[in-house]
């Protein structure tokens, strides 16, 4: 994930900053506890594609 892209994209729900989880290939919004998938290097920033973070995901 390009770090410049992370500087300009935001959570579509709250507008908060997103963090990239390279191992799981997802963008994390800690404010909403949501994870957005990254497919073929492209962030899928659709609320209906996001899932709630599990306790395991929150810990990593």
Structure pTM?
0.88
Distance CA 43, CA 39 (A): 6
Query: Residue 33 is part of which domain span?
Result: 1-59
Tell me what pLDDT residue 59 has: 65
Indicate the number of domains in the chain. Answer: 1
The model's pLDDT over 9-25, given as tens digits with 9 standing for 90+, comes to 999 999 999 999 999 99
pLDDT tens-digit map of 37-55: 999 989 999 999 999 998 8
Look at residue 1 and tell me whether its pLDDT is greater than 90: no
Residue 49 maps to which CATH number? 2.20.25.10
Interatomic CA distance for residues 25 and 35, integer angstroms = 10
């Amino acid at each position: 994930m390009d770090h410049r892209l992370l500087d300009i994209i935001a959570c579509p729900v709250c507008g908060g900053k997103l963090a990239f989880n390279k191992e799981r290939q997802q963008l994390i919004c800690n404010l909403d506890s949501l994870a957005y998938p990254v497919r073929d290097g492209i962030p899928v920033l659709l609320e209906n594609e996001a899932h709630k973070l599990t306790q395991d995901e929150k810990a990593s």
